[in-house]
Chains A and B, each alone.
Chain A
Amino acid sequence: MRVMAQMSMVMNLDKCIGCHTCSVTCKQAWTNRDGTEYMWFNNVETRPGQGYPRGYEDQEKWKGGWELDKRGKLRQKGGGRLKKLMTLFANPLLPDIDDYYEPWTYEYDNLLNAPAQKNIPTAPPKSQLTGKPIDVQWSGNWDDDLGGTYANKDKDPMIRGIEEKVQLEFDQTFMFYLPRICEHCMNPTCVAACPSGAIYKRSEDGVVLVDQDDCRGWRMCVSGCPYKKVYFNHKTGKAEKCTFCYPRLELGEPTICAETCVGRLRYIGLVLYDADRVTEAASTPDEKDLYEAQKDLILDPYDPEVMAAAESGGIPYDWILAAQNSPIFKLIKEYEVALPLHPEYRTLPMVWYIPPLSPMVDSVADSGFDAEDADNLFAAIDTLRIPVEYLANLFTAGDVPTVERVLYRMAAMRSYMRDVDLGREPKEGIANAVAMTGETMQDMYRLLAIAKYDERYVIPRGHGESAHNLEGVGTDCPLNSEGGPGMAEESEGAGMAGPGYAAKREESNVPRPGEGRVNLLNWDGKGVPQGLFPEPTGGTA
């Protein structure tokens, strides 16, 4: 047993209101530079819908993730080492910008500089790639709130196979929001696909990062990631991805997307897992068993044997305590209500989701019945096949009973807690019906409904025994551009500086990085890095 710690997230989809605050704050913090316009480390997609980039889940087309070969061995779906090297010159599996969208801005100058005229001046859109006017046809979130989704429903890879039913029972329209970030997978294909070895999993907390010095722009990681969460910076020619806001994690702060989430639906915490069994779990023959296999990898942090192995593996004691208090462990292992997104990609993703009960609740309420009655809800789960099958396609590789089991629990909680709220005697039978006790049900309710900041985010601070500092060096953070968030020296309040950040810096007596040497991380790919040359030279590409 080789115990490793993994920072992970769970999102409770019932609470997501689709406000996109998370996407915007992440963008402002990390991807507001040239070359990153189209990158959404966090995006929120309406499901059913095509997602971002369009139809990314169609792995027959994009060939992301892993598959099993005839002998049951794990291999990259997009081809092995030799194939990758042979196709370096033009990657046949790379989405192009139109699969995302052509980023644009507006001619704001028009508004300010227009001469006096009869009509109000406008600010027409112009492409951020070419600077020319464009006719905006698509964007990262064009099918928000089902806009055009049913016209395009054949394009949602997850609807394939159940499309007739969706058409037949059009009145049963359902939708929900799916916020997505990088999964910081235990078995990441982006890492496996990188010919330069520039992407790695941090052994301390499992965060997957791109080393900006080592990346050579072969863009194989973009194809390798089945979630399409590695993006190619077209100005610097290097790959960038969600960093799990590691500079914040190291200070014990939640990620920006979680911190700013309006629905307060995100949970962050550690899990301990057995790294020796990762490949074995990812090679589980039946796709539908992958969820269980991955759940089994996650170790019980109270088990003395696990604790001892963790200690001897170099995991500090306060991290083990954090793993014990982890909301993630509770949601995945104790209450068993969180599910991984697309376990069938075999990357063992570590951002999990509590599937939404709202399609069933809405349906019961719409038909005039009591939507907080357990029996009504159970019946709705049993009869509303389409949403349930759809959810199963997302979260359990199509295994309907597992999704049903989770939904039953959520329905039972709803019903049980109503009695508590109304001051009635809660019905233990409801909890027992979903194999829980009234007590655990109440605990689960606490965590899901009213947990405070420090219960939702249990993040032990980073240990920097040999580290120079936790964010100033920036290490391989691609984001330390001029005016970017990594440049804490420029403005204290910006970017990753969360609440209490200034105080923490003060407390740890962290001086600002000095000037004087060339810092290529400050460089945005335009012109020549400051201080590198006495004078710019023409030959430098």
Chain B
Amino acid sequence: MSDDTTLDILLWIVLPYFVLAIFILGHVWRFRTDQYTVTSRSSQLYESKLLRFGSPLFHYGIIAVFFGHLMGLLIPQRWTDAIGITESMYHWGAFAMGIVASAVTAGGIMILAWRRTTNDRVKTVTPVGDKIMFGLLGLSILLGIVATLFNLEGSYNYREGLSIWFRNFWTLNPDASLMASAPLFFQLHVLMALVLFAIWPFSRLVHAFTIPFGYLNRPYILYRSRDDTERKPRPGWAKSDIPEVPGPATSRRRK
């Protein structure tokens, strides 16, 4: 660790923890104060022919990419070694799956970006925030693909470098040199992703944390009492000091 330059420490230790803090606190803040703007902000009403291809391609792709990253970053090489998977088998397997997932994702996001820039209706409802987010997201994906392609032969084994850095980061035992020695495109990919994570909580990407799993086991018809729920002041709402409107004094609370 002693050989690390200040820049290395800033980029691969300070920045990541800083981004982590923004990511967590940002989401806590956003969900506590600003539920009203948390939405997928669908633009399907304007245009659905392209969206019907682009959006599922992109989303299913990005979900696959996410799990791919988890596998590559979290599973130590000695585990795969232990069950007899050689580095080259792993490399080509991961490469094949990765390239399919990223092609689907990239294809999807390209359709979405094309739609956003060519359809007049969609264009007019794309705020600056969305454009920045789209740019960063697109760049992260692009750099990830480039890094992989530049490493076709597997000369850089990220599971001996980047992945260990990643795990050490989470065990609060960070090691900047592992990242500092990674190839340029891997470094750029990670940096771009860090910037994306930093704006995440403030962008429409928050919708990724609202997957409605609760739908799977709840009754279809929901009732809420005016008394119990709605009138509770909620964070982000204007506070009201208006007293109750008097009515006949009967209790009408339900279980």
Contact = CB atoms under 8 A, between A and B. Distances in A.
B240 A468 contact: yes
Contacts of B58: 89
A508 B246 contact: yes
Interface stretch (B95-103, B170-178, B204-212): B204-212
B89 interface: no
A351 B48 CA distance: 32
Interface in B124-152: 124-125, 127-130, 132-133
A130 B122 CA distance: 9
A211 B229 CA distance: 11
B23 to A, nearest CB: 13
Interface in B95-128: 120-121, 123-125, 127-128
Interface in A428-476: 461-470, 472-476
B227 interface: yes
B12 to A, nearest CB: 23
Given A131-B124, A540-B203, A219 B221 contact: no
A521 interface: yes
Interface string A79-112: 0011011011111101011000000000000000
Contact of A463 (B121, B205, B252): B252
Interface string B211-255: 110111010111111111011011011111111111111111110
B34 interface: yes
Contacts of A76: 220
Contact of A197 (B204, B222, B244, B248): B222
B125 A234 contact: yes
A346 interface: no
Q: Quick one: which of A92, A217, A317 has the most chain B CB within 10 A?
A: A217
B93 interface: no
B202 interface: yes
Contact of B45 (A97, A315, A475, A511): A97
A240 to B, nearest CB: 12
Contacts of B221: 187-188, 191-192, 201, 278
Nearest to A213: B35
Interface in A39-90: 76, 81-82, 84-85, 87-90
Given A217-B40, A469-B242, A520 B237 contact: yes
A259 interface: no
A317 B60 CA distance: 55
Interface stretch (B2-10, B49-57, B65-73): B49-57
A117 interface: no
Given A96-B44, A513-B242, A541 B204 contact: yes
A88 B56 CA distance: 9
Contact of B247 (A202, A461, A529): A461
B47 interface: yes
B interface residue count range (under 10 / 10 to 19 / 20 to 34 / 35 or more): 35 or more
A316 B227 contact: no
Contacts of A314: 251-254
Nearest to B203: A541
A90 B55 contact: yes
A238 interface: yes
Contact of A518 (B121, B128, B236): B236
Contact of A468 (B46, B228, B233): B233
Interface string A316-329: 11110000000000
B225 A195 contact: no
B226 A204 contact: yes
A215 B240 CA distance: 23
Contacts of B39: 215-217, 236-238
A424 interface: no
B207 A216 contact: yes
A467 B245 contact: yes
B236 A513 contact: no
A335 interface: no
Q: Quick one: which of A132, A192, A523 has the most chain B CB within 10 A?
A: A192
B239 to A, nearest CB: 5
Contacts of B241: 511, 513-514
Contacts of B41: 217, 236-237, 541
A313 B248 CA distance: 17
B33 A90 contact: no
A96 B52 CA distance: 12
Given A518-B238, A532-B34, A216 B43 contact: no
Interface in B182-212: 199, 202-205, 207, 210-212
Nearest to A92: B52
B215 A469 contact: no
A537 B247 contact: no
A214 B245 contact: no
A191 B223 CA distance: 9
B251 to A, nearest CB: 7
B197 to A, nearest CB: 12
Interface string A198-209: 011111100000
B238 to A, nearest CB: 3
B13 interface: no
Nearest to B201: A539
Contact of A521 (B55, B227, B237): B237
A234 B250 contact: no
A196 B38 CA distance: 12
A523 B36 CA distance: 9
A327 to B, nearest CB: 22
B37 interface: yes
A511 B123 CA distance: 43
Interface string A170-197: 0000000000000000011001100111
B215 A81 contact: yes
A509 B59 CA distance: 53
B247 to A, nearest CB: 4
6 contacts: A90-B48, A129-B124, A461-B245, A465-B249, A515-B238, A540-B202
Q: Which 7 A-B pairs have the closest CB atoms?
A: A469-B242, A237-B41, A519-B238, A217-B39, A541-B129, A192-B220, A195-B212
Given A81-B215, A541-B204, 5 more contacts: A90-B56, A195-B212, A216-B39, A314-B252, A540-B129
